[in-house]
A and B are shown apart, each in its own frame.
Chain A
Amino acid sequence: MVATPLTEEQAWSVLRTVPDPEIPVISVTELGIVREIRTGPGEVTVVVTPTYSGCPATEVIAASIRDALQAAGAGNVHIETRLSPPWTTDWLAPQAAEKLRAYGIAPPGSRTASQTIRFVAPSPQCPRCGEKKTTRLSEFGSTACKAMYRCPSCLEPFEYFKPI
């Protein structure tokens, strides 16, 4: 198949529709893991910086990126992993915060450059009722990127996207 080559901008548009497998309300571009796209004759190279080293979603993400681009006629798709600089929640798109909240996940706060060994537990706002004083249940949640919290006001548990 000789496809009309995809432009870089077209490739970005395609990836804006590829959801993160674990938090499907945000796309892989909103997650901030797509760092660069290069296009050449009959091929597209996507540079991805993984979130956590052991994140099991990494391979699923690579496969969905490849499928989406090929469906759009990209030809050969290369996924290049770039470890440095490491991924940070600062790379989440500005609109991701509201989408996470609507989905029931408290978006990450700012990163504290604290030098303490012990946890300085932030108190994220409850994504359901907006309560400001919430309690941490566990430093870990259903995935490596989240912690578990409880809201004393609406009594619902919720997850907090940890700032890293």
Chain B
Amino acid sequence: MTNQHFIYLLRLADSPLILAQRLSEWCGHGPVLEEDLALSNMALDLIGQARLLLTHAGRVESRDRDEDQLAFLRMENKYRNLTIVELPNGDFGQTVTRNFLFSAYQVELWKRLQISTDTELAAIAAKSIKESTYHLSHSAEWVIRLGDGTEESHLRMQTALDQLWPYSAELFTSDDTDRSMAESGIGVDPSAFKTDWQSTVSQVIGEATLTLPADTPFVSSGKAGQHSEHMGHLLGELQYLQRTFPGAQW
């Protein structure tokens, strides 16, 4: 039970952690200054969420691991993020499309976790939902603006959506950990809010004049610790400092 609780918290923490790492890559490369700031700000929010969750996970595990040890010193197969967040950024359209799919998911998740029997998790959810709602609005605005934009931007957004869509299946797969957490009232079974997520997504995609891709049998497995080939490269950068100078502090 404790172990499942720990794994569940790692999953919640790792997706924002890894997406924050990806969004930080935009710093200094944004298409316009305002968006450079926006992506960095969202990365900060996500790092903040990850820090709270990792600290909490460390306490639940009771093996004296703090947020830094958990963020920087695990092996690749111990990270439990959804595969979609570790994929390379692609162009700006692809980045905002992923932000859109993911923040719509986070909003539904936080909404339900606000009543978790794990009161620390409930507090983190109540705080994070404000941020994720803002991220959702920001990305939805861009999906609509670029989808319903020029021929070129429309084409790129449709391509982005087609490429990312197969990875959205993992968001709603549930395993023993999800089910036991849902049963105990700590967590939520993600399959329970797929319909709500779909309704947000299809509304915005429709307004953006884009076409929802068909579902495929492919299901990625990042939350089980099996990652894409991109994860190792990402971790190389994320962990570089702590691996080279163990225990280094600001």
Could you tell me which A residues sit within 8 Å of B by CB distance? 52-56, 83-87, 117-119, 137-144, 148, 162, 164
Contact of B141 among A55, A86, A118, A162 (CB under 8 A): A118
**Which residues of chain A come closer than 8 Å to B128, judged between CB atoms?**
53
Q: Within B161-215, which residues are at the interface with A (CB < 8 Å)?
A: 200, 203-204
Residue of A52, A53, A137, A142 most packed against chain B (CB within 10 A): A53
B130 at the interface (CB under 8 A from A): yes
Give the CA-CA distance A46 to B83 in the complex, in Å. 40
Complex: chain B residue closest to A55, CB-CB? B48
Check B46 against A117 for contact (C-beta < 8 Å).
no
- Comparing B37-45, B149-157, B222-230, B236-244, the segment that makes contact with chain A is B37-45
B117 to chain A, nearest CB (A): 14
Could you tell me which B residues sit within 8 Å of A by CB distance? 34-35, 37-38, 41-49, 51-52, 119-120, 122-124, 126-128, 130-131, 134, 136-138, 140-141, 144, 200, 203-204
**Which residues of chain B come closer than 8 Å to A52, judged between CB atoms?**
44-45, 48, 131
Check A53 against B119 for contact (C-beta < 8 Å).
no
Nearest 5 Cβ contacts at the A-B interface: A53-B48, A54-B48, A138-B34, A84-B123, A54-B44
A86 to chain B, nearest CB (A): 4
Check B35 against A53 for contact (C-beta < 8 Å).
no
Contact of A84 among B34, B37, B122 (CB under 8 A): B122
Contact of B45 among A53, A139, A142, A148 (CB under 8 A): A53
**Which residues of chain A come closer than 8 Å to B49, judged between CB atoms?**
53-54
Known A117-B203, A144-B44; judge A53-B34 contact (CB<8 A).
Answer: no
Known A53-B51, A83-B52, A148-B34; judge A119-B45 contact (CB<8 A).
Answer: no
Give the CA-CA distance A138 to B40 in the complex, in Å. 13
Besides A117-B136, A119-B137, 7 other A-B contacts (C-beta < 8 A): A53-B49, A53-B51, A53-B127, A53-B128, A84-B126, A138-B35, A164-B130
Residue of B49, B120, B134 most packed against chain A (CB within 10 A): B134
Give the CA-CA distance A118 to B139 in the complex, in Å. 9
Complex: chain B residue closest to A142, CB-CB? B37
**Which residues of chain B come closer than 8 Å to A55, judged between CB atoms?**
44, 48
Residue of A52, A148, A162 most packed against chain B (CB within 10 A): A52
Complex: chain B residue closest to A88, CB-CB? B130
B131 to chain A, nearest CB (A): 6
Complex: chain B residue closest to A86, CB-CB? B127
Check B48 against A117 for contact (C-beta < 8 Å).
no
Contact of A140 among B37, B51, B122, B141 (CB under 8 A): B37
